[in-house]
Structure 1
Amino acid sequence: MSQPILYIGNTNYSSWSLRPWLLLHHYGVAMEVRRYAFNSDAFYREVGAVSPTCQVPCLRIDSTSIWDSLAICEWAAEACPEVRGWPEDAATRAVARSVSAEMHAGFKQVRSLMPMNVRRLCPKPEPNAKLEAEIARIQTMWRDLIQTHGGPFLFGDFLTIADAMYAPVVFRFTRYQIDMDPVCAAYADHMTALPSMVHWREAAHRETEVNEASEVAGERRDFQS
């Protein structure tokens, strides 16, 4: 197998790119990363050549493409011995998969009203019952898992796919100044201090592109999978 190539979008905006990148980078998986600015000709040309959906993230291994964030993480957990993707206990692993899938499929208010913007300290979103319910659900989930498994990650002392799936939410909560209880605030602090998260944040600050749709109208779901 040749070295995998991970295609990603803007580090400032692309929450879905962050998820598999974080898992792979945190565990030291050798890979080439190719970043393309959303809406650019290079994005459509290069990503479109490897991803059947023309979306990021996409992982290319030899002639095989894996074009979904959770699918890439699952591949890493199976193919890379250094990656501890899931808890070892079967029941705990099922819970980890459940909360990961919940993030993958849900929390639409958080996604649309709080687009990820790593560079910017954003104003708190306007009060919205549905958004507040999603924020409360996420914090309840984090708190229950950390208290059950002892932290500092959601399922104990190592980063899992579940943590990778919620990493962009950590950036959102901190950048949108969301009030967090002490357990969730400590989790957010631990996540943002990870060397890989610092690396991503520094890359976002080096970017110069501005995606107006993500700055104003929310996360561009047509560009991110």
Structure 2
Amino acid sequence: MSEIVLYIGNKNYSSWSLRPWIAMRILDIEFREELVPFDMAAGNPAFADFSPTNKVPVLEHGTVRVWESLAIMEYLNDLFYTKRIWPHEHDRRAHARAISCEMLSGFSALRSACPMNMRREPAELAVSQAARDDVKRIVAIWKECLEQSGGPFLFGHFSAADAMFAPVVNRFDIYRLTADPTALSYMEHMKSLPAWQEWESAGRAESWVIEEDEV
């Protein structure tokens, strides 16, 4: 099989890069990481060398190039079906995809008010009612999934759905956005993963500082 290359941005900020990266690390999919840092709020001109959208992440596999986090994980699911990137049961897979698409396209108030930031020390943040509504909906999603699956992850085993919500774990943690016990327990399981800690440590070690709502 051809080498898989994943192009990502700054680990401190790039929520979209975190998603496929952590899925591949946890599910033991071998790949080469290429970190191309943002050198300005709008991105980096060097992204044009590998990204048709001038954004990250982008996955390269031989002559195949895939951009957008969710599309990357769909491609990986086709390549590595036995890794269970999505649940194999059709009803659970449909549920996982639905909430992942909701994460992809929704929760704009939360994204805008609370960008991912691995270096930020936890402190409560006052947010708008719209952002609080986003938090309430996400907590409801997590609780429903965990009740049905028994945990510790949304569909029992780690899946693309957990990867899609991984940046939210950071947001909820550093901005102190929820006190729900089920949500906090899920967050602790996510943060205890070696892959999470590897990404977080690398993000904290970065020197780049960028003002950006969602990267």
Q: TM-score range by the shorter chain?
A: over 0.9
Give the C-alpha shift of residue 82 in structure 1: 5.0
Instruction: Say whether the 8 Å CA contact 2:27–2:85 is kept in structure 1.
Output: no
1:149 matched to which residue of 2? Answer: 149
- SS of the equivalent of 2:83 reads coil
Gaps of 5+ in 2: none
With normalisation by structure 1, the TM-score equals 0.90
Distance 2:68 2:95 in 1: 21
Instruction: Say whether the 8 Å CA contact 1:16–1:56 is kept in structure 2.
Output: yes
Q: Are positions 1:72 and 2:76 aligned together?
A: no
Give the C-alpha shift of residue 39 in structure 1: 2.6
RMSD in angstroms over aligned alpha carbons? Answer: 1.5
Q: Can you list the C-alpha shifts for 1:131-179, whole angstroms capped at 9, x where unaligned? A: 11000000011011101110000011x1010000000000111111122
Report the residue type matching 2:163 in the other structure: A
- SS of the equivalent of 2:53 reads coil
1:198 matched to which residue of 2? Answer: 197
2:184 matched to which residue of 1? Answer: 185
Q: Are positions 1:14 and 2:8 aligned together?
A: no
Give the C-alpha shift of residue 101 in structure 1: 0.2
- SS of the equivalent of 1:16 reads helix
1:56 matched to which residue of 2? Answer: 56
Q: Are positions 1:209 and 2:204 aligned together?
A: no
Q: Can you list the C-alpha shifts for 1:59-103, whole angstroms capped at 9, x where unaligned? A: 011122101100111111110245211112111111110000000
Describe the shift of the 1:207–1:94 C-alpha distance in structure 2 as closer, same or farther (beyond 3 A): same
Distance 2:181 2:126 in 1: 23
1:219 matched to which residue of 2? Answer: 214
Distance 2:150 2:107 in 1: 25
- SS of the equivalent of 1:126 reads coil
Distance 2:191 2:180 in 1: 16
1:223 matched to which residue of 2? Answer: none
Distance 1:9 1:127 in 2: 27
Describe the shift of the 1:83–1:44 C-alpha distance in structure 2 as closer, same or farther (beyond 3 A): farther
Count of paired positions: 213
2:126 matched to which residue of 1? Answer: 126
Instruction: Say whether the 8 Å CA contact 1:29–1:82 is kept in structure 2.
Output: no
Query: Moved runs in structure 1, 4+ residues, more than 6 A?
Result: none
With normalisation by structure 2, the TM-score equals 0.94
Instruction: Say whether the 8 Å CA contact 1:7–1:56 is kept in structure 2.
Output: yes
Report the residue type matching 2:57 in the other structure: P
Gaps of 5+ in 1: 221-225
Instruction: Say whether the 8 Å CA contact 1:15–1:116 is kept in structure 2.
Output: yes
1:102-117 → structure 2 map (5 Å cutoff): 102-117=102-117
